[in-house]
Amino acid sequence: MADRSFHPETLAIHAGQIPDAATGSRALPIYQTTSYVFDSADHAASLFNLQTFGNVYSRLSNPTVAAFEERVAALEGGRAAVAAASGMAAEALALTTILQQGDHVVAASALYGGTVTMLAVNLRRFGIETSFVDPTDPAAFAAAMRPETRAVFAETLGNPSLQVLDIAAVADVAHAHGVPLVVDNTVPSPYLCTPIAFGADLVVHAATKYLGGHGTTLAGVVVESGKFPWDNGKFPGMTEPSPGYHGVKFYETFGDFGFTMRARMESLRVFGASLAPMSAWQILQGIETLPVRMERHCENALRVAEYLRGHSRVSWVSYPGLPDHPQHELVRRQMRSVGGRAGASGLLAFGVKGGLEAGVRFIEAAQFMSHLANIGDTRTLIIHPASTTHRQLDEAQQRAAGVTPDMVRMSVGLEHIDDILWDIDQALERSAG
């Protein structure tokens, strides 16, 4: 008899946390501690050797952070997860565990600007090359693979291009070459899409966004599927004795959560971008209502997209939830259905007539829509990517990322839809100048 598979609404509240053994506390305690006592010298030695599971130092693990890790692993249908201080820290954690000097990455061209910089500048400095390809074309990923390729990286829904990744097709390409597919699933959140179900091997999140959901707390997390064969010969770091950890062979010893153990014991431990317990606790408060919030984000965003499309001051609208989006079929296949329509998140983009200047006037005329660099808040957020989030890229890179000079990106919040439409309309009227 198999164990019951609980729904996301239940996992979002319960996974990773049972009542506290010491006190009976129903809510998760915040273990605001750096260190933990050992029961004996033997116990200490066992912990350091990884012969027993426990906590030694909060840079490596912390019970409050662990609840967050298990909750996201459960929601993503993954085997294990490790948290980091931010989404970028989570990406760095995943990539610096997989890659070494001389390796190559095939990445989608439509990525968050910070990710592009990590791949094209920071990792490049350490001798890791990246090829950027059209994320909507699985054949482009295949054509870019090299013998030294060790990872494929993409976003489920590109930010802000909103291009949709065909996860299964790109996973097949990655697996045909014996490398893992790493998917940044920040924009859909695990409620709308679980990339592991489509073949992704690692999933990263900026929990700062929809998971936390309230714009209060930076956090990141890496989830592993537990299904990637790290012993296929391409990843000696997973199978050879670890020089950083007393000769432990991570894959052999820990099996299907070996990657997470290695990421924690070799990368997180050394580079130290650990998530604070208080931050993990705050993100968990948000995660409890993830399903309910995502439903409302999707309903509101669809109404906004339909409204903008009919507006005289808008030249174009892009929202994967609209039936005429070029990848709408893929969205329907990969994303959860909300109210009978494909749930495409709260993120949409549009062009204000009158180009750059009109776009700026629109943003500055908004009354309660917030002009800032974030997505996935309860509040509706707006920004002009070309001059902010993707400013570090040159124009060719911007276009490859799906950013045009007139584009406004909106993260539709949970305010009443009538009020959101009112603010959009009055700001658009004022954008005419």
Partner 1 sequence: MNDDIPTLRRILKSYRTIAVVGLSAEWHRPSYFAAKYMQEHGYRIVPVNPRYDTVLGERCYASLRDIPHPVDLVDVFRRTADVGPIAEDAIAIGAKCLWQQLGVRNLEADARARAAGLDSVMDRCVKIEHARLFGGLHWAGVNTRVISARRPV
Q: Report the residue number, 4 or 416, with the smaller CB distance to partner 1.
A: 4
As measured in angstroms, the least distance from the Cβ of 255 to partner 1 is 5
Strand partners, 318: 349
Contacts with partner 1, residue ranges (CB under 8 A): 1-4, 6, 10-11, 14-16, 18-21, 24, 26, 42-43, 46, 49-55, 61, 63, 66-67, 69-70, 73-74, 78-83, 241, 246-249, 252-255, 257, 260-261, 264
The string of DSSP letters for 116-152 reads HHIIIIIHHHTT-EEEEE-TT-HHHHHHH--TTEEEE
CB-based burial of residue 169 (10 Å sphere; 0-12 exposed, 13-18 middle, 19+ buried)? middle
**Minimum distance of partner 1 from residue 324's CB (angstroms):** 39
Contact 66, 29 (CB under 8 A): no
Side-chain half-sphere CA neighbours of 131 within 13 A: 17
Q: Measured from the CB of residue 344, what is the shortest distance to partner 1 in angstroms?
A: 27
Question: At closest approach, how far in Å is the CB of 74 from partner 1?
Answer: 5
- Of 182 and 400, nearer to partner 1 (C-beta) is 182
The structure tokens listed for 216 are: 């209060």
Q: What's the token pair of residue 10?
A: 């239940």
Q: Are 221 and 380 in contact (CB under 8 A)?
A: no
By beta-carbon proximity to partner 1, the closer residue of 190 and 346 is 190
**What is residue 290's three-state secondary structure?**
helix
* Nearer of residues 43 and 303 to partner 1, judged by Cβ: 43
CB of 425 to partner 1, least distance (A): 45
Whose Cβ is closer to partner 1: residue 68's or residue 153's? 68
Q: Is 127 left (phi over 0), alpha (psi -120 to 50) or beta?
A: left
* Residue whose token pair is 């998917």: 183
Cα angle 219, 223, 226 (rounded to 5 degrees) comes to: 165
User: Nearer to partner 1 by C-beta: 261 or 427?
Assistant: 261
Closer by beta carbon to partner 1, 79 or else 104: 79
State the nearest-atom distance from the C-beta of 391 to partner 1, in Å.
35
Closest approach, Cβ 102 to partner 1, in A, equals: 28
